[in-house]
């Protein structure tokens, strides 16, 4: 398929004036299981897609069997569950899987694990940019892990990816002057995870300049004043630079850092009470709300929030997606069929995610699920309407 080569980059611009946001609500429909491409542990990150005259292309993270983990490309005929499950997956990205690679190596940031979490058109004709969740496991035991975010490029419709480089490593690595060995030496137990992960990317225009806005979680143990945190952060880079290392600015709470090396950043969303962590944010421009819409997971539930400027977000709303007796949903992606890609959503669509469930009496695993979603604005006077079952979008 070659329709991606002619894809025109979508530039999104927040359209609301600087006024208070009207109340809004997201309603979810019933949960259906979906096994995209018959992959296991999928989605194990955000889903990216491109939709155009040439058809539908999807990138999803998962496994074939027990060992072949990575990012897969699929070409389903539609968003219907039968078509998603019949689509044939081809692996296009994977970790290095070389346990001897030192943490100082150029490829160490994805030595043990790699998953593409966001794909957007690049600034050059026929180019795609991928933002990768990579992991280095100091003990080669899965956890503890040190996560980083990298970038890769493709010029063949997302089949092969080159120019792989790390771009975000997190506050603790910045505080340690990027001494990976020093940070890794502090990771002694299975819960001592570190670093930035779960990226999402959108292109927006601000002050006449096009930027890539990159949202991510950062697990901070060492430079957080003694209280480990896992909150959501944002960085941006001029779109014309294609996300290259050294072109990024980081939100500090007082403004943007100058383009250049990573600095200590401040979160734009902190974890809701009792949520444990905020992770894997996905951001879209929602045409119904005319604002940026973020969905992310915690250890309790999925949450949604909106923003006009990309840095100031309203109080997150719990979506009630948790299932009693099972792990809360993770790795959320909102999809509105008919949109060019995952950067834009409308009033209705699909919410994809995965949950850890009991596969047998002795074995657990992640399964994929889907719900419809409906976004509505709530009248400013009177009580909010009672929640209704979500209207299912067309597949």
Residue range 13-23, pLDDT digits in tens? 333 333 456 78
- Are the CB atoms for 117 and 131 separated by under 8 Å? yes
User: C-alpha angle 257/263/269, rounded to 5°?
Assistant: 80
Q: How far is CA 130 from CA 159, 329, 362, 394, in A?
A: 11, 24, 37, 28
Compute the mean pLDDT over every residue in the chain, rounded to the nearest whole number: 90
Look at the block and give the residue holding tokens 């969303």. Answer: 269
Position 70 pLDDT exceeds 80: yes
- Comparing CA positions, the residue from 113, 110, 96, 39 lying closest to residue 72 is 39
Average pLDDT over residues 203-222: 96
pLDDT of res. 387: 40
Nearby residues of 225 by Cβ (< 8 Å), 6 or more positions away: none
**Proportion of the chain in helix, strand, coil states, percent, rounded to 5:** 10, 45, 50
pLDDT of res. 379: 62
Separation of alpha carbons 319 and 307, rounded Å? 17
Percentage of the chain lying above the pLDDT 70 cut: 90
pLDDT of res. 20: 55
CA 38 to chain centre: 21
Average pLDDT over residues 277-294: 97
- Could you tell me the pLDDT band of residue 49, with boundaries at 50, 70 and 90? very high
Position 7 pLDDT exceeds 50: no
pLDDT of res. 327: 80
Position 8 pLDDT exceeds 60: no
pLDDT of res. 18: 39
Return the beta strands (E) in 174-253 as ranges.
Answer: 194-206, 209-220, 229-238, 248-250
- Comparing CA positions, the residue from 68, 69, 73, 83 lying closest to residue 34 is 83
User: C-alpha angle 22/28/29, rounded to 5°?
Assistant: 145
Q: Which residues pair with 197 in a beta bridge?
A: 217
Position 269 pLDDT exceeds 80: yes
- Are the CB atoms for 391 and 374 separated by under 8 Å? yes
Q: Which residues pair with 291 in a beta bridge?
A: 286
User: What's this model's pTM, rounded to 2 decimal places?
Assistant: 0.90
pLDDT of res. 325: 73
Average pLDDT over residues 232-251: 98
Nearby residues of 363 by Cβ (< 8 Å), 6 or more positions away: none
Pairing of strands 113-121, 90-93: unpaired
Average pLDDT over residues 249-256: 97
pLDDT of res. 360: 72
Average pLDDT over residues 197-213: 96
Q: How far is CA 183 from CA 49, 136, 179, 265, in A?
A: 35, 12, 7, 18
Judged on CB neighbours under 10 Å (0-12, 13-18, 19+), 218 is buried
Pairing of strands 209-220, 248-250: unpaired
Position 286 pLDDT exceeds 50: yes
What is the token pair recorded at 296?
A: 């992310």
Tell me if residue 292 falls in helix, strand or coil. strand
- Are the CB atoms for 210 and 238 separated by under 8 Å? yes
Residue 268 has phi, psi (to 5 degrees) of: -100, -20
pLDDT tens string 84-143:
999 999 999 999 999 999 999 999 999 999 999 999 999 999 999 999 999 999 999 999
Average pLDDT over residues 304-310: 96
Separation of alpha carbons 265 and 160, rounded Å? 32
Separation of alpha carbons 393 and 351, rounded Å? 11
- Could you tell me the pLDDT band of residue 5, with boundaries at 50, 70 and 90? very low
- Comparing CA positions, the residue from 338, 302, 45, 318 lying closest to residue 198 is 45
What is the token pair recorded at 311?
A: 């840095």
Q: Which of 4-18, 180-194, 201-215 is least confident? A: 4-18
Position 231 pLDDT exceeds 80: yes
Residue 175 has phi, psi (to 5 degrees) of: -65, -30
- Are the CB atoms for 137 and 143 separated by under 8 Å? yes
Look at the block and give the residue holding tokens 């997190």. Answer: 170
């Amino acid at each position: 398929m070659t329709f991606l080569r002619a894809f025109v980059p979508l530039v999104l611009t927040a359209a609301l004036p600087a006024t208070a946001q009207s109340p809004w609500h997201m309603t979810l429909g019933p949960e259906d299981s979906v096994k995209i491409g018959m992959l296991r542990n999928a989605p194990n990150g955000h889903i990216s897609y491109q939709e155009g005259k040439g058809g539908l292309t999807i990138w999803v993270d998962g496994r074939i069997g027990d060992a072949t983990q990575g990012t897969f490309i699929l070409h389903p005929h539609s968003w219907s569950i039968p078509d998603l499950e019949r689509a044939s997956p081809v692996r296009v990205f994977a970790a290095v899987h070389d346990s001897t690679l030192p943490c100082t190596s150029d490829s160490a940031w994805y030595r043990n694990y790699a998953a593409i979490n966001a794909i957007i058109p690049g600034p050059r004709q026929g180019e795609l940019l991928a933002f990768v969740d990579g992991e280095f496991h100091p003990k080669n035991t899965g956890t503890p892990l040190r996560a980083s975010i990298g970038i890769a490029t493709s010029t063949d419709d997302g089949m092969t990816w080159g120019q792989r480089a790390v771009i975000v490593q997190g506050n603790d690595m910045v505080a340690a002057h990027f001494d990976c060995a020093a940070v890794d030496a502090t990771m002694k137990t299975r819960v001592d995870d570190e670093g930035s992960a779960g990226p999402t990317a959108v292109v927006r225009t601000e002050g006449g300049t096009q930027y890539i806005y990159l949202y991510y979680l950062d697990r901070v143990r060492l430079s957080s004043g003694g209280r480990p945190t896992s909150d959501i952060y944002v960085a941006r880079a001029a779109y014309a630079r294609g996300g290259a290392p050294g072109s990024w600015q980081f939100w500090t709470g007082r403004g943007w850092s100058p383009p250049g090396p990573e600095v200590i950043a401040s979160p734009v969303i902190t974890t809701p009470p009792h949520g444990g962590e905020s992770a894997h944010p996905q951001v879209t421009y929602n045409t119904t709300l005319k604002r940026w819409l973020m969905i992310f997971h915690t250890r309790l539930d999925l949450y949604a929030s909106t923003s006009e400027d990309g840095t100031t977000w309203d109080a997150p709303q719990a979506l009630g997606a948790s299932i009693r007796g099972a792990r809360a949903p993770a790795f959320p992606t909102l999809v509105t069929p008919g949109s060019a890609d995952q950067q834009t959503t409308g009033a209705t669509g699909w919410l994809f995610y995965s949950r850890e469930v009991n596969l047998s009496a002795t074995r657990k695993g992640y399964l994929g699920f889907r719900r419809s979603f409906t976004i509505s604005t709530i009248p400013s006077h009177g009580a909010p309407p009672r929640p209704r079952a979500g209207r299912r979008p067309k597949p």
